Amino acid sequence: MKKILFLFISLTCLFAQTETDKFSQAHRAFENNNFSLALRLFKEITATGKLEQQKLSSAKFYSAECFLNLDQLDAAAVEFESFLDEYKFSTYKPTVLYKLGTIYFTKRECRKARERLTTLTTEFPFSEFHGSSFYWIGETYASENKFVEAEENFREAIANKKTNKYIINSIYSLAQLYEKTGDYGSAITNYDELLTYYKQSPLAPKAQLRIGICYFNQKDYDNAILELTDSEIKQLPFEEIAEARFFLANCHARLQEYGDASQILNELYTNVVEEQFKNRILFSKAWIDFQQTKYNDAFDKYKSLTETANDSLKILSLYWCGECKRYLGDSKGADTIFKEFIEKYPSHRLVAKAQLARGSVFVSQSNSVDAEAALLNATISPDKQTKTKAYAMLGEIRLNAMRYDDARKYFSEAMKLRPDQQDLRNRTQLGYSVSEYFLNKYNEAEKNLTELKERDKTFESDKVNFYLAEIYFATKKYSAALKHYNLVKTGDKSILRQTVLGKAYSYFNMKDFANSIFFFGDYIEKFGNEKNLAEVKLRLADSYFGSKNFNKASAIYKELFSKDKLSSESDLAFYQYCQSLFKAGKANEAKNAFEELQQKFPKSKFTDEAQYVIGWIDFQQNDYNSAISGYRRLISRYPRSELKPLAIYNIGDAFFNQGNYDSSIVYYSKVIESYPNSQYILDAVNGIQYAYVAKEQPENAITFIDSFISANSDSRYSDQIFFKKGDLYYSIDNYGEAIKAYKDFIAKYPSSGFVSNAYFWIGKCSANLKNEAEAVANYNTARQRSPKTDIGISATLELAKIYSNKKQYDNAIRVIDESVAANSTSNQVAEMLFTKGSNESLAKKMNDAAATFEQITSYYEGTIFAAKAKVELGKIEIERKNFEKAQAYLREIGEKRLDDVGAQAQYYLGVSLFYQGNYSDAVTAFVRTRSIFSGYDEWYTKSLMMLGDCFIKLDDKKQAKEMYRSVLLRHPEGEYAQEAKRKMRGL
């Protein structure tokens, strides 16, 4: 028995020794590049599974490496993936992830490549492959034309150059990306960086060539020539040197240096062998001849290409043969060639241009008479496309001549033909819509532009969005106007100028002065020579005034008005001067100037206004006795002034502010008795109401309203004054009587425009009385009666709040969707969408919520709700553990805003860093919340609590205790206190 046991143990040891020897033999074969033998041995080892785990994992790894070195990518990928499944904690894991990423990229399986490389950068941020991984991720995005993501990863690759063995490739690829997207300036910067720091790289000469081509594409031909003649170019292969010379020749041609261009092209034509390249050279030579009016020479070259070329140059050359004939005055020859062109290439993009060549030439020469004659002949054509194009061009001629009615008729004829070619169909509809806009037919123009945009989002998107914005601006839908102005990305100066101005005025009219200041300033900086600059500066000053930045406002007012001869002939100019002093806050100077105006221009229409402002200045300075004297002076000096009821009303306000309520009631009553149909009567009724409430006699206010209605039943304001009975009861929290008053109002004035408002306030009162069913019923009535008004939208928001409190989130979302559909251009859409997104979050529909919040950030940038939406997106991304994306949203808002939204963003930025495990940066974020946003108790206190949690993670219990004690000092009782005490006990 002992012998058998001994024999078994010996055989086991012998077998293990054999497997170890086999591993060594396999490894030697691998080192000697005998990958087939190594693969077989490693496979045998993994099949038996007799070695320890570390060597088995090594055998598995090297098996995959063998496949890779044998160029068996599919097998290598399978083996590496199997390795990850079997050995999740192996030290080879970073290498395997990296290898898989590069394999998948080679196989053009970009999504898989990104998944593996992203896992590597996330789980192993300090690996040797960190920077290189970002490079390959960038290449995967670039290969899919996802340029934003590609740029982000190339930048990360460059930033992590210590772990990026492809640093030069990263810079070159980033430059190529910018070149592809037309950002030639950034492309040049990166190519130049490669040349500066990596001069010896094989990519340096290529970078030199690309810089020259980028300058060429920027139409900066002088710089292109400098770059394309650099000595670095000589290190390129012959084919690329030839490409450089080709672009060099074209630079000279664009600079009208035709001799130099021709010399280079002739030399190239002699030395180049490749036929297609020779055709390109010949085409450029023909183009140079054409530019030099050598039309016969150009024709010969183009004609030759139509016979020898077999690519797009052959087609283009045939077209240019026709152009040469046309410029030679050979109309018949041109027509023959254009006809041949159309017959051979009926779907080519130049067909319409060939059909309408004569007309288009006349247009380019501003010969509208001959152009219209030629185009009218073209409208007789049986070809629908040609006919449509002719009508469209006729419409454009009339549009440019500002003959909008004629333009509209021509575009209408084109649209009736219903062209099959979408681009032509789009162009005619755009022209028709623009004509409608200039004819003030805004509804029709909006309808057609919206239809065009929905059909083809890529067609002339800048112009479509611009005119939609202008339509919404003209109809005072400023939020919708901004949405479309923000989508305009044009480089066209005239459209850009109007877009910047439109944004500025939209924000100004919405009283968003912070943004109007930015855009008026931007306009002045970019278009400082425009004729309307003085008006724009005045609006800029008004914006500063509206934002209470009186110093900047006064400086601009002074600049504007000091340039006029204010003391001489113009009462208007002098009045503006007085106003500038007043708005600049120079009260005493303004009063003196307004008094002087009355003396200098006693017959001016501004005299009563001047006296009114004198009283108003005293009123604003709380000098009510002087204000009363000033207003009485207006009444005595200008007894027929339209400002007289307002002056009487303001005297009432002055007495009210002095606490002399009886006198205020006297003057308010004078307004009502003497001017029962004036616009100030409602303010006067309010004044009496507030005076009686201040005297703790609200019943007298009600009695007064009833008496007024009884005595002035035919007043156009009687319904609004009666409505104030409900407002009065609501203001003193007597919701039951308020409901009764609003119901009496509905019964007495069923046709009033305020009936919907009454239902809304009945809903509010019912909600305050916890009668939710009644509240819901009345909010719904308000919505149904006025679905497209502010009160209807307010009812929707209140209704959504009730549903949300009852956890009926789907109902809340439903009513919001209904109102958004009915009010797509309302300034309150952003608020409604935010409410919708909040309910989707509460309903745990996180994808829907994210989509809604992203919609707000895309279309309503600059509003408070866009900022709040970004905070919510940040919170969603934290839940998804997409910390970097969350931090991008939150950091932006936390740095830009100093209000409660900024405080919330800053707090959640710290939360994101905390959950990411970046405790030191989280401390910095929470400390900033504590320092910058100390006035916002919720976020201040929560930041203290999280600071304590951070210090626990950093093993600094002393600091943690201090944070929790700070919470207790601020909140000795309540939920915060309980949580802080619990955490201290845990310490």
Q: How confident is the model at residue 9 (pLDDT cuts 50, 70, 90)?
A: very low
Query: What residues contact residue 603 under an 8 Å CB cut-off, 6+ apart?
Result: none
Report how far apart, in Å, the C-alpha atoms of 381 and of each of 370, 374, 389, 697 are: 18, 12, 11, 85
Task: Evaluate if residue 159 carries a pLDDT over 90.
Answer: yes
Task: Evaluate if residue 785 carries a pLDDT over 80.
Answer: yes
Query: What residues contact residue 607 under an 8 Å CB cut-off, 6+ apart?
Result: 597, 598, 601, 637, 638
Quick: pLDDT tens for 284-320.
Answer: 999 999 999 999 999 999 999 988 888 788 899 988 9
pLDDT at 8: 40
The average pLDDT across 146-157 equals: 94
Which segment of 258-262, 448-452, 890-894, 898-902 scores lowest on mean pLDDT? 448-452
The average pLDDT across 169-189 equals: 94
Quick: pLDDT tens for 722-741.
Answer: 888 898 889 889 999 999 99
Q: How confident is the model at residue 716 (pLDDT cuts 50, 70, 90)?
A: confident
Q: Which CATH class is domain 531-604?
A: mainly alpha
- The more confidently predicted of residues 474 and 583 is 474
Q: How confident is the model at residue 377 (pLDDT cuts 50, 70, 90)?
A: low
* Separation of alpha carbons 468 and 433, rounded Å: 10
pLDDT at 296: 94
Q: How confident is the model at residue 849 (pLDDT cuts 50, 70, 90)?
A: very high
Query: What residues contact residue 863 under an 8 Å CB cut-off, 6+ apart?
Result: 479, 512, 830, 856
Q: How confident is the model at residue 12 (pLDDT cuts 50, 70, 90)?
A: very low
Q: How confident is the model at residue 557 (pLDDT cuts 50, 70, 90)?
A: low
The average pLDDT across 408-424 equals: 83
Closest CA to 672 of 711, 643, 729, 635: 711
Q: How confident is the model at residue 567 (pLDDT cuts 50, 70, 90)?
A: very low
Task: Evaluate if residue 824 carries a pLDDT over 70.
Answer: yes
* Separation of alpha carbons 345 and 327, rounded Å: 22
Pick one of 1.25.40.10, 3.40.50.300, 1.10.3720.10, 3.30.930.10 as the CATH number of 615-696: 1.25.40.10
Q: How confident is the model at residue 181 (pLDDT cuts 50, 70, 90)?
A: very high
What is the DSSP track for 301-335?
HHHHHHHH--SHHHHHHHHHHHHHHHHTT-HHHHH
Angle between helices 883-896 and 900-915 (to 10 degrees): 150
The answer to whether the CB of 77 falls within 8 A of the CB of 109 is no
Percent of the chain's residues with pLDDT above 70: 93
The average pLDDT across 389-416 equals: 85
pLDDT at 16: 46
Task: Evaluate if residue 404 carries a pLDDT over 80.
Answer: yes
- The more confidently predicted of residues 815 and 494 is 815
Closest CA to 282 of 327, 292, 272: 272
The average pLDDT across 839-862 equals: 92
Q: Tokens 């009303």 identify what position? A: 649
Q: How confident is the model at residue 792 (pLDDT cuts 50, 70, 90)?
A: very high
* Separation of alpha carbons 677 and 302, rounded Å: 82
Structure tokens at 130: 């960190």
Return the ∠ at Cα 549 (arms to 545 and 555), rounded to 5°. Answer: 80
Task: Evaluate if residue 710 carries a pLDDT over 90.
Answer: no
Query: What residues contact residue 677 under an 8 Å CB cut-off, 6+ apart?
Result: 715, 716, 717
Amino acid at the residue 843: A
Task: Evaluate if residue 19 carries a pLDDT over 80.
Answer: no
pLDDT at 562: 66
pLDDT at 566: 35
* Separation of alpha carbons 225 and 244, rounded Å: 10
* Separation of alpha carbons 225 and 184, rounded Å: 16
Which segment of 319-328, 360-369, 679-688 scores lowest on mean pLDDT? 360-369
Which segment of 3-7, 174-178, 396-400, 477-481 scores lowest on mean pLDDT? 3-7
Quick: pLDDT tens for 651-667.
Answer: 999 999 999 989 998 99
Q: If you ran DSSP here, which 8-state letter would residue 569 be given?
A: S
Give the N- to C-terminal CA distance of the chain in Å, as an integer: 63
The answer to whether the CB of 494 falls within 8 A of the CB of 479 is no
Closest CA to 631 of 622, 640, 621, 645: 645
The average pLDDT across 956-964 equals: 91
Task: Evaluate if residue 370 carries a pLDDT over 50.
Answer: yes
The average pLDDT across 823-839 equals: 91
The answer to whether the CB of 303 falls within 8 A of the CB of 289 is no
For the entire predicted model, the pTM comes to: 0.45
- In which region does residue 899 sit, left (phi positive, over 0), alpha (psi from -120 to 50) or beta (all else)? beta
Task: Evaluate if residue 131 carries a pLDDT over 90.
Answer: yes
pLDDT at 367: 66
pLDDT at 369: 77
The average pLDDT across 90-109 equals: 92
pLDDT at 3: 44
Report how far apart, in Å, the C-alpha atoms of 777 and of each of 301, 771, 781, 807, 814 are: 82, 10, 6, 18, 16
Structure tokens at 704: 């007064």
Say how many C-beta atoms besides its own lie within 10 A of residue 68's C-beta: 20
The answer to whether the CB of 163 falls within 8 A of the CB of 131 is yes
pLDDT at 463: 87
For 747, counting Cβ atoms within 10 Å of its Cβ (0-12 exposed, 13-18 middle, 19+ buried), the class is exposed
Q: How confident is the model at residue 342 (pLDDT cuts 50, 70, 90)?
A: confident
Task: Evaluate if residue 483 carries a pLDDT over 70.
Answer: yes
Task: Evaluate if residue 143 carries a pLDDT over 90.
Answer: yes
pLDDT at 561: 63
The answer to whether the CB of 410 falls within 8 A of the CB of 379 is no
Closest CA to 932 of 952, 910, 948, 949: 910
- What are the contacts of 452-455 at 24+ separation with CB within 8 A? 452/426, 455/422, 455/426
The average pLDDT across 104-115 equals: 93
Structure tokens at 587: 């009260």
